[in-house]
A and B are shown apart, each in its own frame.
Chain A
Amino acid sequence: MKKSTTRRQVRLGEIACARSGDKGSGANVGVIAHTPEGFQYLREALSARRVGKFFKPLGLGKVVRHELPNLDAFNFILPGVLAGGASRSLRIDAQGKALGQALLEMELEISEKVLARCKPRKKNRS
Chain B
Amino acid sequence: MKSILIGNAQGFWGDSINAPARLVSQQPDLDYLTLDYLAEVSMSILALQKERDPATGYARDFVEVVRSLIPFWRKGSKVRVITNAGGLNPQGCAQACAEVLRQAGIRRMKIGVVTGDDVLPVLRADPGTKTFTNLETGEPITKISGSLVTANAYLGAQPIIEALNAGADIVITGRVADPSLTVAPCVAEFGWDWNDHDRIAGATIAGHLIECGTQATGGISTDWLEIPDPANIGFPVVEVNPDGTCFVTKPMRTGGVVNERTVKEQLLYEIGDPDNYLSPDVTVSFLSLQVREQKKNRVRVSGAKGRPATSSYKVSASYRDGFWAQGTLTIFGRNAVVKARRCGEIILQRLREAGYELQRSSIECVGAGACMPGLLEKSIEAELLETVLRVAVADPRREAVERFAKEMSPLITSGPQGVTGYAAGRPRVHPVFGYWPCLIEKARVKPQAYIATTNG
Contact = CB atoms under 8 A, between A and B. Distances in A.
Interface of A: 13, 17-19, 21-26, 28, 30, 32, 54-55, 57-58, 66, 68-71, 73, 75, 77, 84-88, 90-93, 97-98, 100-102, 104
B287 A90 contact: no
Given A17-B223, A28-B272, A68 B286 contact: yes
8 pairs of A and B residues whose beta carbons are closest in the complex: A30-B268, A57-B374, A17-B222, A90-B392, A90-B362, A19-B265, A21-B270, A98-B371
B391 to A, nearest CB: 9
A92 B41 CA distance: 17
B390 A92 contact: yes
Given A86-B40, A90-B360, A17 B261 contact: yes
Interface stretch (B50-58, B406-414, B433-441): B433-441
B271 interface: yes
Contacts of A73: 264, 268
Given A19-B266, A75-B274, A87-B40, A24 B321 contact: no
12 contacts: A19-B221, A21-B270, A24-B135, A57-B374, A68-B287, A70-B289, A87-B433, A88-B321, A88-B394, A92-B390, A98-B371, A98-B372
A55 to B, nearest CB: 7
Interface residues of B, number: 53
Interface of B: 40-41, 135-137, 220-223, 261, 264-275, 286-291, 303, 318, 321, 324, 326, 360-362, 364, 366, 370-375, 390, 392-394, 432-435, 437
The secondary-structure label for the interface of chain A is mixed
Contacts of B374: 57-58
A75 B223 contact: no
Contact of B394 (A58, A68, A90): A90
Given A19-B220, A55-B375, A70-B290, A90 B361 contact: yes
A109 B90 CA distance: 55
Contact of B268 (A19, A87, A97): A19
Contacts of B432: 87-88
Given A28-B268, A88-B394, A102-B375, A66 B370 contact: no
